[in-house]
Amino acid sequence: MKVQGIPENICADWQQPISKEFPLDDLGQRITELCLSCDKGVVLMIDEVDKSSDNQIFLSFLGLLREKYLNQLKGQGKTFHSVILAGVYDVKNLKLKLHPGAESKYNSPWNIAVDFEVDMSLSVEEIASMLQDYESDWHTGMDIAGMSEVLYEYTSGYPFLVSRLCQIMAQERETCWNRQTFQNAVRELLRVSNSLFDDMGKKLAEYPELKEMVYGILFQGKKYAYESENHRIRIGEMFGFLKESQGTVSISNRIFEMKLYNLLLSEVETDGRIFATAEMEKNQFVKDGSLQMENV
C-alpha cells in the first residue's frame, strides 16, 4: 500500500495485527510513528460516535487519544493534529464506564472540551432578512415583519423549523404568505415525518427520565425549578427539547411543544386501547381463574 507523504514501512505496520497483550500501547506507538512521519498534521475523523458511546473499547481508545494529546502539549511525543467526532450531540454526553459492568456516567473522557458560546438560533431580524430576499424574488406581498415575528414565536429561531416552515409555504407560490398559510404549514410540518421528529421519539425512548419530565410539563402542569446541573434538564437542553424560562423548565418552542404533546398523547391513547381490549377479551379465555384452552 502506498499513501502519498507516508513511508511504506509505516503503512505496512498499520496492516499488522495489534498486540494482544498491550493493544493500546501498541496502537499509541503506531499513532506516534504515523504522525512523526508526516510532513503535515494528521486529522482523525470518527463518525457515528453516539452509537459507540457505550462501548468500553471505544471509550478506552478515546482515553488513549486524550492522554497522547495532553502529553503532546507537554512536548512529550506526537499525535493527531485534530480529532473530529461526528454524530455526537455533546462530547459531555459520552457514557464513560470506569470499570466493566459499572454504571454509565455522563462524563467526558476528554475533559478538554471548550464550551461553544455562539447562539445558533435565528433572531427575528435574521429571519426578516431571509424573508426579504425571498420576497424580492417572488413578490408574495407578505408582511415581512409580521411573518418574521410569528415564525420566531413558534420556533424560537430553531434553524431547521424556520427553514422547513418557509419551504412548505414556498410550495404554494400563488398564495400570499399570511397567518392562514402559516397555520397550514404548521399542520403540515407536524403531520409529515422528518428526521428531526423521528430522532425526537427515539431520544424520549432512550431517556425515560427525560420523557417523564416532558410528560409532567405538558400533561400535568408541573413546574420544575431550573437547575443546570440536573441530569434530566441537562440532557433535555442538550437535545434542544427544554430551556430555562423565568427560573423554571419549559419546552424550548411551540412547535416542539405541539409535537411532543401529540406524540405522548398518541402513546397514552394507544396504551389505553390495548389495555381496554385486553381486559375485554380476557373474559373469553379465562373462567374461574383457569385458562380455557379450547377457546384460545
Tens of pLDDT along the chain (296 residues)? 445 556 677 777 788 888 888 888 999 999 998 898 888 889 999 887 766 666 778 878 888 898 898 889 888 889 999 988 877 665 555 554 434 454 444 444 444 444 556 677 999 999 999 999 999 988 888 999 999 999 999 999 999 999 999 999 998 765 678 999 999 999 999 999 998 999 899 889 989 999 999 999 999 999 999 998 998 998 899 889 999 999 999 999 999 999 999 999 888 877 776 556 655 565 666 566 666 677 66
What pLDDT, on a 0 to 100 scale, did the predictor assign at position 105? 46
Closest CA to 93 of 84, 104, 83, 102: 104
Strand intervals (E) in the chain? 43-46, 82-85, 95-96, 105-106, 242-245, 248-251, 286-287, 290-291
Q: Checking phi first, is residue 13 left (phi over 0); if not, alpha (psi -120 to 50) or beta?
A: alpha
Strand 248-251 relative to strand 242-245: parallel, antiparallel, unpaired? antiparallel
Residue with cell 453516539: 50
Interacting residues of 23 by C-beta distance below 8 A, sequence separation 6+: none
Residue type for 154, please? Y
Closest CA to 269 of 257, 277, 279, 259: 277
Q: Which residues are bridge partners to 290 per DSSP?
A: 287
pTM of the model: 0.63
